[in-house]
Homo-oligomer: A and B are copies of this chain.
Amino acid sequence: MNQISPPAAALTEARPVAASPAFDLSRRLAAETLGTALLLAIVIGSGIMGERLAGGNTAIALLGNTLATGAGLVVLIAAFGPVSGAHFNPAVTLVFALRREIGWPTAGAYVAAQLAGAVAGVLAAHAMFAEPMVQISGKLRDGPAQGFSEAVATFGLVTAILATVRVRPQMVPAVVGLYITSAYWFTASTSFANPAVTLARSLSDTFAGIAPQSVPLFLLAQSAGALAAAVLCGWLFRERSRP
């Protein structure tokens, strides 16, 4: 018989990813809000900067947008991970709740904090670039190829997180930053892979925006991709029990 019983093991696993007992809930929610706000400021802000400077070459604009987002994610996850787990993403929080590594009430509070932070981050980016504060994106991102891209993007993100969070936890910031660096280019949708980011990006009619009518498809595809990854990883990363 194992020395650690399953429920106790689940609690042990939970610590690095979600519930750091060293920090109370208000600090954890502040970390989720602030981290998601900075993430959106990075995504929107670097998109504006890229488009303004690139002289019409979209690949060059996307290079700047990619560099800023990938590098910024490493920093944000390294900084806030020890406090809140650095989800910044309702799809990630949902997966950890399904795995019982975070309680449902806490998960709900996390998602609310992420959404509030995401909107604040868009406003901050607009203020930094002297853009009108309130905008609605007109950039349609429709069709099955975009939906499939978001499903693949979120599947890959959740798989990368679940694969590394327990065996190589110190690599999680780099893994997530590098994954998004890659996914900005290998998916046709430039990999939103995050429902809070998707909703907030509908509030910016700039390089990184998405029209509100395209949002539901993205949210649906992201959920499907996240759930598929959760199911697969639940099997794939389960080690042989040692007798």
Contacts and interface: CB of A to CB of B under 8 A. Distances in A.
Contact of A78 (B54, B66, B72, B175): B175
A160 interface: yes
A104 to B, nearest CB: 23
A62 interface: yes
Contacts of A124: 152
A74 B178 contact: yes
A22 B185 contact: no
Interface residues of A, number: 86
Interface in A186-207: 186-188
A187 B152 contact: no
Contact of A67 (B41, B44, B125, B185): B185
A10 interface: no
A171 B55 contact: no
A182 B128 contact: no
A83 B236 contact: yes
Q: Is the interface of A mostly helix, strand, loop or mixed?
A: helix
Contacts of A31: 236
A179 B130 contact: no
A156 interface: yes
A27 B233 CA distance: 10
Nearest to A66: B67
Interface centre among A63, A177, A181 (most CB of B within 10 A): A63
Contacts of A163: 78-80, 82
A17 interface: no
Interface of A: 21-24, 27, 30-31, 34, 38, 41-46, 49-50, 53-72, 74-75, 78-80, 82-83, 124-125, 127-130, 143-145, 148-149, 152, 156, 159-160, 163-164, 167-168, 170-171, 173-175, 177-179, 181-188, 232, 235-240
11 contacts: A34-B232, A41-B186, A43-B186, A45-B186, A46-B182, A59-B60, A59-B64, A74-B174, A75-B182, A79-B164, A124-B152
